[in-house]
Amino acid sequence: MKTAQRAALLMALFVILGAFGAHSLKQRISHEMLTIYQTGIFYHAIHAAALFAIAWLEEKTQGSLISAAGWFIIAGIVLFSGSLYALALTGVKALGIITPFGGLSFIIGWIMVAVALSQRSKINL
């Protein structure tokens, strides 16, 4: 499966989870937990959409740095957003310990993109 396909599936999941949160959770969880869930949705959406740009860059590169960056972004969505979803739905505060690892994955992914872009001679834009 290519990065663009993974991005599309993650965007579909974002819509599903966003609709679930908007229509099913308002009455079931506290305002604090709904805010946590919405933070997960926000980061999920931004990074899933950004994967389309990463997929485009991946097609233009001669190395695997962009591809690896895409995997770090996906890991970030799973760890960051996933842990926030789980925390909001279960109320188990210990799940919050996973969230920073997702944030770190996002950071690593974006730094990898920056490094790849700094090596423009290897990218046929």
Per-residue pLDDT of the chain (125 residues; tens, 9 = 90+): 899 999 999 999 999 999 999 999 988 999 999 999 999 999 999 999 999 999 999 988 877 899 999 999 999 999 999 999 999 999 999 999 999 999 999 999 999 999 988 886 566 66
Counted domains in the chain: 1
Range of the domain at 65: 3-122
Q: Work out the burial of residue 13: count CB atoms within 10 Å of its CB; fewer than 13 is exposed, 13-18 middle, 19 or more buried.
A: middle
**What's the gap between Cα 92 and its chain centre?**
22
**What's the gap between Cα 72 and its chain centre?**
9
Q: Whole-model pTM?
A: 0.92
- Helix, strand or coil for residue 61? strand
